[in-house]
Amino acid sequence: MPRTRETVLEIDLKALTHNYRFLKSRLHPETKFLAVVKAFAYGSDSVRIAQKLEALGVDYLAVAYVAEGIALRDAGIKKPILVLHPQSVNFDMMIRHDLEPSLYAPRVLKEFLETLEKHNQKDYPVHIKFNTGLNRLGFWENDVDFILSQVNGKKDIKIVSIFSHLAASEDLNEKDFTISQIKSFEKIASELEEKLGYSPIRHLLNTSGIINYPESQLDMVRSGIGLYGFGNEAEIDKQLKPVATLKTVISQIHKIEPGETVGYNRAYASQGYRVTATLPLGHADGIGRHYGNGKAFVNINGKAAPIIGNVCMDMLMVDITGIECKECDEVIVFGKNPSAEELASTANTISYELLTGISQRVKRIFIE
Ligand SMILES: *Cc1c(COP(=O)(O)O)cnc(C)c1O
Give the pLDDT band (50/70/90) at residue 230.
very high
Within 10 Å of residue 122's Cβ, how many Cβ atoms? 8
Q: Which domains does the chain have, with CATH numbers?
A: 31-228 (3.20.20.10), 244-367 (2.40.37.10)
CA of 222 to the centre of ligand 1 (A): 6
118-141, pLDDT tens digit by residue?
999 999 999 999 999 999 999 999
Closest CA to 267 of 314, 307, 320: 307
Residue 40 near residue 362, CB atoms below 8 Å: no
Residues 70 and 154: their CA atoms lie apart, in Å, by 26
Q: Is 224 in the pocket of ligand 1 (CB under 6 A)?
A: yes
Q: What is residue 117's three-state secondary structure? A: helix
Annotate 5-65 with DSSP letters as a single string.
SS-EEEEEHHHHHHHHHHHHHTS-TTSEEEEE-HHHHHHS-HHHHHHHHHHHT-SEEEESS
Q: What is the pLDDT of residue 1?
A: 72
**pTM across the whole model:** 0.97
Which ligand 1 atom is the nearest neighbour of the CA of 42?
8
Q: What is the pLDDT of residue 257?
A: 98
Out of 36, 38, 128, 162, give the residue to mutate to test ligand 1, the one with the largest number of ligand atoms within 8 Å of its CB: 36
Give the pLDDT band (50/70/90) at residue 316.
very high
Q: Which residues are catalytic?
A: 38, 264
What does residue 83 show for φ and ψ, rounded to 5 degrees?
Answer: -100, 115
CA of 148 to the centre of ligand 1 (A): 27
Q: Is 221 in the pocket of ligand 1 (CB under 6 A)?
A: no
To 10 degrees, what angle do helices 13-25 and 46-56 make? 50
